[in-house]
Amino acid sequence: MKTKKEIVDNWLPRYTGTKLDEFGDYVILVNFSNYVRLFAKWHGVEVKGESRSMLSATAGRITIINFGMGSPNAGTIIDLLTAIMPKACVFLGKCGGLKTKKNKVGDLILPIAAIRGEGTSNDYLPPEVPALPAFALQKAISTTIREYDSDYWTGTVYTTNKRVWEHRKDFKRYLKSLRPIAIDMETATIFIAAFKNKIPAGALLLVSDMPMIPEGVKTDKSDATVTKNFAERHLRIGIDSLHQLINGSLTVKHLRF
């Protein structure tokens, strides 16, 4: 029987097209290939894995990976990253804003916790374990956002395993009762899987739609507008947050895993 290490040592390069010794020790996780291509363009590096499941690019000590969408993929990439055990991992994802009187498209959400509504995280730790980011990593992201003269909302994100729910009144009532600030499909899984695997992880989410109201449901046109207006800032903040840790020689592995 193969060990977990034997599996992930083989699968991480197979999925990403990047050899183990070519990965940086800081990782950015995204859902979008354009983020990987922008990263590669800004740093003058090659995009790898064009024929694989997960596009990747590495510049210096930072590797960016597009792992796909949804909680199973989120859990998979965290498991695979145990092959290199990065010093920090930041998820840059899009989310739906749930506070219609406060949120707007383009806002940044810095989650302090995530509600485990996706199910995947139950395969890592019992439901009683809260899904939390590495505090020092979130602090670095917060500082970087301020340096960009930007602001952010903070609060709890609800992570679901169901993509098409905007038509369901019962689910919307349920979300309101829980009082999360946003909804996505990956954050809770990343936090729990990273905690289980002893990888410091954080997240910065970009509000791409307002799904609680009919006119706020995401469309191809609205998503293209969000990408055009806000994606570059989102990615640059993620990159600079990791550079802050690298240049300051700061550790974010403060948790007793």
Mean pLDDT of 155-160: 97
Residue 141 falls within a domain, yes or no?
Answer: yes
Residue 255 confidence class, pLDDT cut points 50, 70, 90: very low
pLDDT at 250: 55
What span, in angstroms and rounded, lies between the C-alpha atoms of 245 and 247?
6
Q: Which domain holds residue 99?
A: 4-248
Residue 255 falls within a domain, yes or no?
Answer: no
pLDDT at 257: 42
Torsion region of 85: left, alpha or beta (phi above 0 gives left; psi -120 to 50 gives alpha): left
Name the residue among 207, 251, 249 with its Cα closest to residue 102.
207
Mean pLDDT of 111-124: 97
pLDDT tens track for 192-202:
999 999 999 99
Where do the H-state alpha helices sit in the chain?
A: 4-16, 33-43, 71-81, 135-147, 169-178, 187-196, 220-248
Q: Which residues pair with 26 in a beta bridge?
A: 62, 88
Residue 257 falls within a domain, yes or no?
Answer: no
> Worst-scoring range by mean pLDDT, 44-53, 107-116, 212-221, 243-252?
243-252
Residue 256 falls within a domain, yes or no?
Answer: no
Domain holding 88: CATH number?
Answer: 3.40.50.1580
Mean pLDDT of 213-222: 82
Residue 147 falls within a domain, yes or no?
Answer: yes
Residue 83 falls within a domain, yes or no?
Answer: yes
pLDDT at 237: 97
Mean pLDDT of 90-99: 96
State how many domains the chain has: 1
Mean pLDDT of 74-92: 98
Residue 249 confidence class, pLDDT cut points 50, 70, 90: low
Phi then psi for 143, rounded to 5 degrees?
A: -60, -40
Mean pLDDT of 153-164: 95
pLDDT at 84: 98
Residue 119 falls within a domain, yes or no?
Answer: yes
pLDDT at 175: 95
First to last CA, the chain: 27
Mean pLDDT of 196-225: 90
Residue 253 falls within a domain, yes or no?
Answer: no
pLDDT at 252: 59
Average pLDDT, the chain: 93
